[in-house]
Structure 1
Amino acid sequence: MKIKRIDTNSRMSQASQSGSLLVLSGQVSEGSSVTEQTTNLFNNIDVLLHKAGTNKSNIIYANIFLTDMDHYEAFNAVWDGWIDSANQQSPSRSAIQVVRLAKPEWLVEVQIFVAV
């Protein structure tokens, strides 16, 4: 089976597709707060989904990594505005507190699995 890769560099691909499953690498973003970082990374996800020919309504599952669970409600406030739950498009997900992400200034990382 052929694998399609999107936004690839020498180390990784931002997204990889096999058949009807698209997996996005953990998405992070700059910003001074978890709200700003979450908003920016969702914009990045929207761009990658567009490049793959799909959209957020087809997200199956999301892994959410927070460096502090005290940011959970701020993250959810942005998530709730991004996901179309009124049309039953809320994917399955998990939220996990981690000790640290790859850069200490990153507060949140989101990895998603999408049907295409």
Structure 2
Amino acid sequence: MSVKRIGTTARWSDAVIHNNTVYLVEVPSNLDGNISEQAKNLLSSVESRLLEVGSNKSNILMATIYLSSINHIGAFNEIWDAWLPAGTAPVRACIEARLANSTYLVEIQLTAALGPSRVN
């Protein structure tokens, strides 16, 4: 089976597809925003990237959310809960971490199935 890399640089790829599964990491681009603004920006980017590769947010299988402070979890969850389609919650972990860029308040790593929505 082949591996398809999208947006590959010397250090990372924007997305990797293998075996009908997409793997990606997103960070916010609005680095002056608060946690809610960065979360909305990041999830919008996730949604666009998933659509670009032939998936969608209802096909997310697993997500790891990295927060610069665990105190942001309430605000992040409010945005996440409104963004995620009902009945499609993935396996998820939320972790406090020192992020690579000090202006990032949130970063997400996720795995999603390719193809149309699989709402149960």
**TM-score past 0.5 threshold:** yes
Mapping for residues 27-66 of structure 1, pairs under 5 Å: 27-29=26-28, 30-31=30-31, 32-66=33-67
DSSP-derived class of the 1:13 partner: coil
Percent of aligned positions with the same letter in both sequences? 38
1:5 deviation in Å?
1.3
The equivalent residue for 1:93 is 92
Equivalent-residue separation in structure 1 for 2:52 and 2:91 (angstroms):
23
Equivalent-residue separation in structure 2 for 1:75 and 1:7 (angstroms):
27
Structure 2: gaps (5+ residues): 115-120
Aligned length: 112
Structure 1: gaps (5+ residues): none
DSSP-derived class of the 1:8 partner: coil
Query: TM-score, normalised on structure 2?
Result: 0.89
The equivalent residue for 2:12 is 12
The equivalent residue for 1:71 is 72
**What's the RMSD between the two structures over aligned residues?**
1.0
The equivalent residue for 2:3 is 3
1:9 deviation in Å?
2.3
**Runs of 4+ in structure 1 displaced over 6 angstroms?**
none
Query: TM-score, normalised on structure 1?
Result: 0.91
